Amino acid sequence: MQALQELSRRRVVPFDVPGHKRGRGNPDLAAFLGEKALSLDVNSMKPLDLLGNPVSVIKEAEELAAAAFGAHHAFFMVGGTTSSVQAMILAACKAGDKILLPRNVHKSVPTALILSGAVPHYIYPDTDKNLGISLGMCFDDIKTAIEDNKDAKAILLNNPTYYGICSNLKGVVELAHKYGMLVLVDEAHGTHFYFGDNLPISAMAAGADMAAVSMHKSGGSLTQSSILLLGKDVDNGYMRQIINLTQTTSASYLLMVSLDISRRNLALHGKKIFKQVIDYANYAREEINHISGFYAFGKELINSSSIYDFDTTKLSVNTLKTGLAGIEVYDILRDDYDIQIEFGDIGNILAYISVGDSKKDIERLCSALSEVVRIHGKPPKGMLNYEYTHPQLIITPQAAFYGEKELLDLKNSKGRISGELVLCYPPGIPVLAPGELITAEALDYVEYAKEKGCSLSGTQDPNVEKILVVK
């Protein structure tokens, strides 16, 4: 931040890219985004360091971030947390290496497996039949997986999940390290764990080796900025090389400075900020639980295995008893009440609470929900259960993705090896990943999900009627 301030004080004459030259060459854009923003959209230069090989101000900012997060090293990332997750996997696994991971991974994970050539071994998280959500992984299941796959190089966890559910991170770290495995944590929804009080343990505090943190989610930085954290046993020079394989050489200073300023803000005011967020979320949970039909779940779910801890900043509300699907409530709130929430799946909605909220906005949400029940509520219909399909991995995702393939109608593809990813949203988990056997079970699931109005994606065919299979 200080380096950018210094630069604008010096009024350097720009004969370098970007071509808009501090906005003067593109007045419409400057008027729309603001001249200040464009004047800070500059190229790497000596006084501003270089993200690909930081030696001065970026290095210093990364060191400050590492200290703030209690990590051994921190990398500023400008390709979203997707790039952080991919860098973790690419650094941990070479082609043929085995990695343990939950089935409900973010889309960035299977793509990283394609790039790295690693072999996935899936662990199936528990699902809560009443709420229709995936929970954490049971510690016993993780233990079995680790003991059955002693040759695995790494284990990846989602912690917390989108819904705020946390696994026994510390237990997993101890066990995995005993077998020499690296622990990678997709901590996209957990930036605040590093700064608030009374929150679940963060990946770095639990001793994990790497963590991908979406600063732009609860941390307040600009969209697409992210931080990758390393523990003490990971070589940061090697990680830098891995990151540079795919990272832009024109990293945006707007994104980087937003990480720096947000880090400072969290370090100085994080405790207060997240106390406020927790208070808002707890208040909303209590109010919403007085509205008949809605269930805003919280710490009462904790069961010491698949729900080891709960992130109280997350306001997830189960809608099934109102007779409405979460996605319906999501649409009604947006269309009729001008309230945009984070997402709605079959049985739940998630309202993202942050320091930017105010009490009166929380009141609007609660009141709108009470109206939704009064006007649209109906007797609950049959429950929908999510079961994970249990596909068998035949060849590595990389071999399948780059292998010779042919296009088949999905319904004629049984028994073949998938060359593509098939994602089902909600709940946002892969039904099939490249290299997996296409089973009758998987095809039934796709049919069922389509019928229920879930959206499917991931294949080249946008309607997911056809699938590329390995020849």
Of residues 225, 200, 222, the one with CA closest to residue 212: 225
Q: Is 370 in the site for other proteins (CB under 8 A)?
A: yes
Does an H or E element contain 156, and which? strand 154-158
| Torsion from C-alpha of 172, 175, 179, 185, nearest 10 degrees | 20
- Determine contact, residues 120/99, Cβ cutoff 8 Å: yes
Residue 366 or 446: the one with the smaller Cβ distance to other proteins is: 366
- Contact track, other proteins, 238-277, x by CB under 8 A: ----------------------------------------
Q: Which lies closer to other proteins via its Cβ, residue 21 or residue 364? A: 364
Among 7, 33, 267, 368, binds other proteins (CB under 8 A): 368
Cα(395)–Cα(450) distance, integer angstroms: 27
Rounded CA-CA distance 319/327 in Å is 9
| Single residue of 197, 336, 406, 465 touching other proteins by CB under 8 A | 336
Least separation in angstroms between CB 375 and other proteins: 7
CA–chain centroid gap for 266, Å, is: 20
The answer to whether residue 334 forms part of the interface with other proteins (CB under 8 A) is: no
- Among 154-162, 246-254, 344-352, 356-364, the segment contacting other proteins (CB under 8 A): 356-364
Q: Which H/E stretch holds residue 186?
A: strand 182-187
Instruction: Examine residue 301 and tell whether it contacts other proteins (CB under 8 A).
Output: no
Q: Which of 306, 320, 364 is nearest to 339 (CA)?
A: 364
Judged by CB under 8 A, which stretch of 37-45, 183-191, 363-371, 418-426 contacts other proteins? 363-371
DSSP for 373-386 reads HHHH----------
Q: How many CB atoms lie within 10 A of CB 24?
A: 12
- Of residues 142 and 284, the one with the C-beta less far from other proteins: 284
360 binds other proteins (CB under 8 A): yes
Which of residues 123 and 339 has its CB atom nearest to other proteins in the complex? Answer: 339
Say whether residue 28 binds other proteins (CB under 8 A). Answer: no
Put residue 224 in one of left, alpha, beta given phi > 0 → left and psi -120 to 50 → alpha.
Answer: left
Total residues binding other proteins (CB under 8 A) = 16
- Member of 97, 342, 371, 441 binding other proteins (CB under 8 A): 371
**At closest approach, how far in Å is the CB of 377 from other proteins?**
12
If the CB atoms of residues 11 and 360 are measured against other proteins, the closer one turns out to be 360
Residue whose entry in the numeric block shows the structure tokens 């971030």: 65
- Three-state secondary-structure class, residue 425: strand
Per-residue tokens: 462: 């946008």
The mark string for 112-151 relative to other proteins (x by CB under 8 A, - otherwise) is: ----------------------------------------
- The rounded distance, in Å, linking the Cα atoms of 208 and 61 is 22
Could you tell me the two tokens for 95? 């082609």
Question: Which is closer to other proteins, CB of 269 or CB of 359?
Answer: 359
- Residue 363 as a binder of other proteins (CB under 8 A): the answer is yes
The secondary element (H helix, E strand) that includes residue 236 is helix 236-246
Is 359 a binder of other proteins (CB under 8 A)?
yes
Cβ distance to other proteins smaller for residue 253 or 280? 280
Using the contact rule CB under 8 A, the part of the chain among 13-21, 186-194, 219-227, 366-374 near other proteins is 366-374
Q: Which of residues 374-403 bind other proteins (CB under 8 A)?
A: 374-375
CB 247 within 8 A of CB 79: yes
All residues at 6 or more sequence positions from 308 whose CB lies less than 8 Å from its CB, including other chains: 136, 139, 166, 167, 168, 169, 302
- Contact footprint for other proteins (CB under 8 A): 287, 290, 336-338, 359-360, 363-364, 366-368, 370-371, 374-375
